[in-house]
């Protein structure tokens, strides 16, 4: 038998070393190197055997040999792979049109946010054979959740409660699924590594073996991952490099909305966004988020402005709320929920320097309604309008919305895809929209909504407040 190897791995970042080091050269942390024992690579062999049995499915058991050889780039076939329809419009859009065969997807999110619910209700609507591997819940618990989602449970979903990677590959050879779901990757362990499940090395080795299986067999794999207290996915950073797609499931447990974002996607855009609403029967797709993100009535309320934003390819209108009050303590507070704190400070400095409003001794609180986190620069104009509306305690008239990026000199800079923003505002019944003057040159067609082009912040505030 081959002799086991000894290695040292940083428990913080996953950096390897042949000997123990006091300070990690990669992340700079002290006393984080732990000794691990690396046995024979049985996980790789199990992945190879499972992939071979699936490749030979339907070929009469004949052994096929993969011949990898160098080839010219121009000779490589460029046709699109047929994607696996997940029967979920939001999830399909975030993935880029469906699940690519042989891909490996990592779904991360906070505890209780709905990762397992989203995955389970997706596979319950599929017709392909799915192997759902759970290392955290028993089959009885999964059955109870499935009955809450739907009463008609098909025969294509096969449940397995297992944490050993080698045993999982044995069951894959027996079941021969079209899709494998692992919930979660931090609970799976392999015999190759002498450490507890969830450690840096265990997560890396298990993910690498599952990647080898997916690429060799052509069966897609969905991994569910935990996140740490900093909000990033637990485990080594190489876990996100290994997988093809990283999806983040966001939202506050106290809000009903859930946001599905693509952080990394080798088969599609990373700017897509999916919105769900948490209900008792599971997660419901929100096809028109604008109507849900706007309050029913904010007439007579100051500090509220409507902004036309775009996330991915979807335009929708969100409600920006601001509260400005005299500072109760010596240092005024600046707080932003759903918006970049540093950008809020910059916009307040623009208001004070370029427009002349004194906010130095006042507390400013900003909130994006619905628990959303918006990164669109076109929100700047609505943030300034909401802050000023609260400062002078004057409400903005109903039927007004706006979009525009604000520069340091107080100018309103042009934004992208202005036609979609105007069409969304017009569809929801708004009668006035403030937009950058530079965007007028690219507009085509006529709109029923009245356009108010502005070059500076003062012009926008004059149009709103007179």
The answer on whether 113 is annotated among ligand-binding residues is yes
Tell me whether the omega of the peptide bond preceding residue 152 falls within 30 degrees of 0, making it cis.
Answer: no
Tell me whether residue 110 is annotated as binding: yes
Inter-residue contact 109 to 115 (CB < 8 Å): yes
User: Residue 218 annotated as binding?
Assistant: no
Helix (H, G, I), strand (E, B) or coil at 415: coil
360: buried, middle or exposed (CB in 10 Å: 19+, 13-18, 0-12)? Answer: exposed
Consult the annotation and say whether 188 binds a ligand.
no
The answer to whether 89 is annotated as binding is no
Residue 373 token pair: 């986190």
| CA angle, 84 then 89 then 92, to 5° | 40
Cβ neighbours of residue 87 closer than 8 Å, sequence gap 6 or more: 122, 125, 126
Helix pair angle (380-392, 341-350), 10° resolution: 60
* DSSP for 315-368, written as a single string: EEEEEEEEEEEE-SSSSPPEEEESS-HHHHHHHHHHIIIII----TTEEEEEEE
Residue 396's contacts (CB-CB under 8 Å, 6 or more residues apart) are 302, 304, 305, 385, 389, 464, 465
3-state secondary structure of 268: coil
Is there a binding annotation on residue 116?
yes
Using the structure block, give the residue that is written with the tokens 């696996």.
Answer: 84
Residue set of the binding site = 109-116
Residues placed in the known binding site for ATP: 109-116
């Amino acid at each position: 038998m081959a002799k086991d190897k000894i290695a040292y791995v940083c428990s913080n970042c996953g950096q390897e070393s042949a000997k123990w080091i006091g300070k990690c050269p990669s992340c700079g942390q002290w006393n984080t190197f732990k000794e691990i024992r690396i046995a024979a690579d049985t996980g790789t062999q199990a992945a190879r055997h499972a992939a071979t049995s699936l490749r030979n499915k339907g070929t009469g058991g004949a052994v096929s040999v993969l011949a990898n050889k160098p080839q010219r780039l121009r000779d490589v076939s460029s046709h699109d792979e047929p994607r696996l329809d997940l029967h979920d419009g939001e999830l399909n859009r975030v993935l880029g049109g469906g699940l690519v065969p042989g891909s490996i997807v990592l779904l991360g999110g906070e505890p209780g946010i709905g990762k397992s619910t989203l995955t389970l209700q997706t596979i319950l609507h599929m017709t392909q054979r799915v192997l759902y591997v759970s290392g955290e819940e028993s089959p009885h618990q999964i059955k109870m959740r499935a009955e809450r989602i739907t009463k008609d449970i098909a025969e294509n979903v096969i449940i397995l409660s297992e944490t050993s990677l080698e045993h999982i590959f044995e069951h894959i050879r027996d079941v021969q699924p079209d899709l494998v779901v692992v919930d979660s990757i931090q609970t799976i362990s392999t015999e190759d590594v002498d450490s507890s499940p969830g450690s840096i090395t265990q997560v890396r080795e298990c993910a690498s073996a599952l990647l080898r299986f997916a690429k060799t067999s052509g069966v897609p794999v969905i991994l569910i991952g935990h996140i740490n207290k900093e909000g990033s996915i637990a485990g080594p950073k190489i876990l996100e490099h290994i997988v093809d797609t990283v999806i983040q499931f966001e939202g506050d447990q106290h809000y009903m909305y859930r946001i599905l974002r693509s952080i990394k996607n080798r088969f599609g855009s990373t700017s897509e966004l999916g919105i769900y609403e948490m209900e008792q029967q599971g997660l419901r797709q929100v096809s028109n988020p604008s109507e849900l993100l706007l309050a029913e009535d904010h007439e007579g309320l100051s500090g509220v402005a409507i902004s036309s934003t775009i996330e991915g390819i979807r335009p929708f209108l969100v409600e920006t709320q601001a509260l400005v009050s005299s500072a109760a303590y010596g240092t005024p507070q600046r707080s932003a929920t759903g918006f970049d704190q540093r950008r809020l400070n910059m916009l307040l400095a623009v208001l004070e320097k370029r427009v002349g409003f004194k906010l130095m001794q006042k507390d400013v609180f900003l909130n994006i309604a619905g628990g959303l986190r918006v990164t669109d620069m076109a929100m700047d104009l609505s943030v300034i309008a909401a802050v000023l509306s609260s400062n002078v305690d004057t409400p903005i008239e109903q039927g007004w919305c706006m979009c525009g990026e604000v520069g340091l000199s107080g100018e309103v800079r042009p934004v992208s895809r202005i036609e979609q923003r105007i069409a969304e505002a017009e569809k929801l019944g708004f009668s006035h929209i403030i937009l950058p003057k530079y965007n007028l040159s690219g507009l085509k067609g006529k709109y029923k909504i009245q356009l108010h082009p502005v070059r500076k912040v003062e012009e926008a505030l004059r149009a709103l407040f007179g």
